[in-house]
Amino acid sequence: MADSKSPMNPRYQIPVATFKSKTVNLYHYILFFFMISIINCVPYVRSVRKDNLIRVAIICGVDSVSISGIKDQVFSSECQINLSSEIPQYFTSKNGFVFVNKKKYRGNLEVQLNNGKIWIINVVDIEDYLKGVVPCEIGGITQPLFEAAKAQAVAARTYAWSHIDQYEHLGFDLYATVKDQVYRGFSCENELTNLAIEQTRGQILTYRNAPVEAKYHSTCGGRTADFNDAWPGQAPPYLKSVKCTYCSKSPHFEWQKELTKDVFFKKVRNKLASIGTKIPFDELIKNIKLIKNRKSKRVLKLIIITEKNEYTIPGYYLRTVFGDDQDPGGLLKSNYITLKAKGNKVVIEGKGWGHGVGMCQFGAIEMARQGKNYQRILYHYYSGTKIKTIK
């Protein structure tokens, strides 16, 4: 998932009713409290996009692509488009589906040119989009874990609604990768996750009547992270560290990584340069201190101690600084770690996988297994939020 944008989007606010009166009497007070109670009970958030369509970049920056769909009222099978083709082009679905490089998608397609390359945008109903997201994000779900799929559906729907127009300048809303949410179209759909989406249709998580920044991750390792453990900026009040006693069965709950000191310090030096902290080569790194967030146990600051200086790095860079090419996305599995020296080696003992903020997916699965419903799962990980239906 992408880094956070503003968690509160004023476009989603419900208009608040006001009334004026010159003579305020008991009747007015009663009416006032009656109206306030109605406003507080409004069960929905007004949608900014009336057609409920979302625009997802499914192919980014290629030289050629093959598309099957209806163009200018004629069905075109495996139409080859390359850089010399006329662009933009639009394809609508036949029986609800289009194909891109033989891969099946719901909705329609736009072929765009961005920076001299071909981009394919899938324009699809949000509920249909979710059918190609939820199974990719939560994995294979069985009937006893159905409530976890519903929790994931609400989290993914909330993410989609709160990121509409995110890349407006590029002509789409979301990437189809971990930059936003993994979306693989019709090929990854399954009946159970489709049912979870249907049974939670339109439901999103809100805070003060606006869609929340619904962050989620694989495994927290026993306690979720505070927002600022993972990102800079203003922390939304509902993304606070909470205890999670549910993910201990995850294969990522605890892990270890060992490197020789030479290799470790060399990698750290290179990674620090990549985030703009250049340590001169004649300064030997002697030690690294980790200052931790007392509540979440995540690293708040790294202090790199050399022979001549001390460099303080915010903890949200830790996964980059300690990550290497073997790690997915080049990031260390988490920033819930302890560093130990063992002879000429450095041992990283870690917990969890992912940024650790918001819903822990292994935790959600275990909560479902223990009989907790999707509302309980979501309210556990996103404190103080409310589920509402978008209209």
Of all residues in the chain, what percent are helix, strand and coil, respectively (each to 5)?
A: 30, 30, 40
Q: Which of 214, 220, 230, 299 binds Zn ion (CB under 5 A)?
A: 220
Which own/partner pairs from 47-50 qualify as long-range (CB within 8 Å, at least 24 positions apart)?
47/12, 47/161, 47/390, 47/391, 48/9, 48/11, 48/12, 48/164, 49/164
CB of 385 to Zn ion, least distance (A): 18
CB of 363 to Zn ion, least distance (A): 3
Stretch that binds Zn ion, among 42-50, 216-224, 312-320, 321-329 (CB under 5 A): 216-224
CB of 291 to Zn ion, least distance (A): 23
List the strands of the sheet with 89-91, edge to edge: 89-91, 108-114, 117-125, 53-62, 174-175
Cα distance between the two ends of the chain: 25
Helical (H) or strand (E) element with 157: helix 146-162
Q: Which of 68, 361, 363, 390 binds Zn ion (CB under 5 A)?
A: 363
Does 377 help bind Zn ion (rule: CB under 5 A)?
no
The DSSP code for 265 is H
Does 244 help bind Zn ion (rule: CB under 5 A)?
yes
CB of 45 to Zn ion, least distance (A): 28
Does 364 help bind Zn ion (rule: CB under 5 A)?
no
- The residues with which 360 forms a beta bridge, in sequence order, are 217
Does 210 help bind Zn ion (rule: CB under 5 A)?
no
Does 358 help bind Zn ion (rule: CB under 5 A)?
no
Q: Which of 145, 360, 367, 377 binds Zn ion (CB under 5 A)?
A: 360
For 189, the token pair is 């759909």
Taking the least distance from each CB to Zn ion, the nearer of 346 and 360 is: 360
CB of 369 to Zn ion, least distance (A): 13
Taking the least distance from each CB to Zn ion, the nearer of 98 and 154 is: 154
Q: Are 353 and 334 in contact (CB under 8 A)?
A: yes
Does 100 help bind Zn ion (rule: CB under 5 A)?
no
CB of 220 to Zn ion, least distance (A): 3
Measured between alpha carbons, how far is residue 36 from residues 8, 100, 144, 359, 386 in Å?
A: 22, 50, 40, 32, 17
Q: Which of 247, 272, 288, 390 binds Zn ion (CB under 5 A)?
A: 247
Chain length of the chain: 391
Residues that bind Zn ion (CB under 5 A): 220, 244, 247, 360, 363
